[in-house]
């Protein structure tokens, strides 16, 4: 199971051509985002400038949510009923909150609770990471539980403790199995990061919105926005697949 097994160029090119042809008919004003005109170039650069925030936001959030997810997953596989219960409560509660709501709550609500102000960037990171951590926890739990019992018994039989057993036997094998779903989560995160535009984060979507307000060419600008996400995510999918192949190579 790999992430988006498509050849990008096969259908990306026809779509682009279609749009350009439509532009020639005069109903579309491609000049607002055309690299051939001065306005278009500066508009494009403005739009693309959001890329680094989208990427930074998503990468930071997924890194944190992977760590938190793992910490939440471990009690979920313990023998103690209380720890397993705590894991369930966390997962069920966190994944029941819509991401957009969580973003608003963290940005506007958390400062009141904690008495500290949170920057737009960190509010976005916290909300995305929190929301995603519930899904990561489920992915890790399933991955760890898919490891054969015999592996655990072998680790026990050579005197490994809980931590060593996790670190040297269980997790290295589980990581390989959870890589495809983790890749999916990263893609999902890149898309969900667009919601952080609502609190003013200058990422791809926010910039497109601002430009639309200025130029009033929603179709052209949002089309570019779609292409930006498309390219970004195809690139990420490709990277994840390469990594997957490299990590499973020694097993064949």
Partner 1 sequence: MVSLERVGKRYGDFQALDGIDLTVQHGERVVICGPSGSGKSTLIRCINGLEVPDEGTIRFDGKAVTTAGSSMRARELRQLRTDVGMVFQQFNLFPHLSVLDNLTLGPMRARKLSRADAEALARKYLDRVHIPEQADKFPRQLSGGQQQRVAIARSLCMEPKLMLFDEPTSALDPEMISEVLDVMGELAETGMTMIVVTHEMGFARRVADRIVFMDKGQVMEDTTPESFFTSPSSPRGAEFLQRILNH
Q: Which residues bind partner 1 (CB under 8 A)?
A: 148, 150-151, 153-162, 164, 168-169, 172-173, 176, 250-252
Provide CB contacts within 8 A for 230, sequence distance 6+.
12
10 Å CB burial of residue 106 (0-12, 13-18, 19+) is: buried
Q: Is 152 in contact with 169 (CB distance < 8 Å)? A: yes
CB of 165 to partner 1, least distance (A): 9
Cβ–Cβ < 8 Å for 101, 192: no
State the nearest-atom distance from the C-beta of 159 to partner 1, in Å: 3
- Shorter beta-carbon distance to partner 1: residue 34 or 173: 173
Task: Measure the N-to-C terminal CA separation of the chain; round to a whole number of Å.
Answer: 17
Burial (0-12, 13-18, 19+ Cβ within 10 Å), 50: buried
User: Toward partner 1, which CB reaches closer, 25 or 157?
Assistant: 157
Give the residue with the Cβ less far from partner 1, 92 or 164: 164
Q: Over the Cα atoms of the chain, what is R_g?
A: 22
The DSSP H or E segment spanning 51 is helix 51-76
CB closer to partner 1, 38 vs 251: 251
Instruction: Write down the least CB distance from residue 160 to partner 1, Å.
Output: 6
CB of 164 to partner 1, least distance (A): 5
Task: Report in angstroms how near the CB of residue 37 gets to partner 1 at its nearest.
Answer: 55
Q: Minimum distance from CB of 68 to partner 1 (Å)?
A: 25
| Nearest to partner 1 of 98, 172 (CB atom) | 172
For partner 1, give the closer residue by CB, 174 or 233: 174
DSSP 8-class letter at 2: -
Shortest Cβ 155–partner 1 spacing (Å): 8
Given the complex with partner 1, which of 145 and 151 has the nearer CB atom? 151
Cβ atoms of 34 and 45 closer than 8 Å? no
> Apex CA 87: angle with CA 86 and CA 92, to 5°?
100
CB count, 10 Å around CB of 13? 10
| Residue 5 tokens, joined | 């097994």
């Amino acid at each position: 199971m790999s992430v988006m097994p498509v050849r990008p160029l096969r259908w990306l090119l026809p779509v682009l051509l279609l749009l350009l042809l439509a532009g020639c008919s005069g109903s579309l004003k491609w000049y607002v985002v055309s690299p051939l005109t001065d306005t278009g170039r500066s508009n494009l650069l403005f739009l693309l400038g959001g890329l680094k925030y989208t990427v930074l936001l998503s990468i930071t959030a997924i890194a944190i949510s992977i760590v938190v997810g793992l910490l939440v997953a471990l009690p979920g596989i313990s023998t103690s009923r209380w720890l397993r219960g705590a894991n369930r409560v966390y997962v069920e509660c966190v994944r029941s909150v819509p991401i957009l709501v969580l973003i608003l709550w963290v940005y506007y609500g958390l400062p009141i609770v904690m008495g500290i102000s949170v920057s737009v960037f960190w509010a976005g990171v916290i909300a995305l990471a929190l929301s995603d951590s519930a899904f990561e926890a489920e992915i890790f739990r399933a991955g760890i539980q898919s490891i054969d019992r015999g592996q655990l018994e072998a680790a026990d039989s050579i005197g490994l403790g809980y931590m060593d057993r996790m670190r040297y036997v269980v997790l290295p094998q589980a990581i390989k199995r959870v890589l495809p779903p983790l890749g999916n989560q990263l893609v999902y995160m890149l898309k969900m990061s667009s919601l952080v535009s609502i609190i003013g984060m200058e990422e791809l979507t926010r910039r497109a919105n601002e430009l639309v307000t200025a130029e009033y060419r929603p179709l052209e600008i949002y089309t570019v926005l779609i292409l930006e996400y498309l390219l970004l995510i195809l690139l990420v999918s490709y990277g994840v697949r390469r990594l997957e192949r490299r990590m499973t190579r020694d097993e064949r």
